[in-house]
Amino acid sequence: VHGLWPSSMVGPDPSNCPIKNIRKREKLLEPQLDIIWPNVFDRTKNKLFWDKEWMKHGSCGYPTIDNENHYFETVIKMYIT
């Protein structure tokens, strides 16, 4: 996986948006994310990488993607299909 982020047709893509729902990523997702979306520069820092991806990109997916857990579930589902 390279990434998942919203885009804008009329201006710059949104990033670092205010978080509307604070539900965090479930630890049960992390073994799958380790395989499909690792930090390619340092695999010991996957969690920091995922946190950055959520804050910069995933937080702007509201209301379609309404929380951190939903963001990572969506990444996994998109990878599988």
Confidence (pLDDT) at 67: 97
Tens of pLDDT, residue by residue over 48-59, are 999 999 999 999
Backbone angles phi, psi at 32, to 5 degrees: -70, -40
Domain boundaries, the chain: 45-81
- The residue annotated as part of the active site, out of 26, 30, 53, 68, is 53
Known catalytic residue at 70: no
Residues in the chain: 81
Chunked mean pLDDT (size 10), the chain, 81 residues: 94 95 96 98 97 97 96 98 93
What is the rounded distance in angstroms from the CA atom of residue 81 to the CA atom of residue 69?
18
Q: What is the pTM of this model?
A: 0.92
Known catalytic residue at 57: yes
Known catalytic residue at 2: yes
Confidence (pLDDT) at 59: 96
Confidence (pLDDT) at 63: 93
What is the rounded distance in angstroms from the CA atom of residue 59 to the CA atom of residue 21?
9
Confidence (pLDDT) at 69: 98
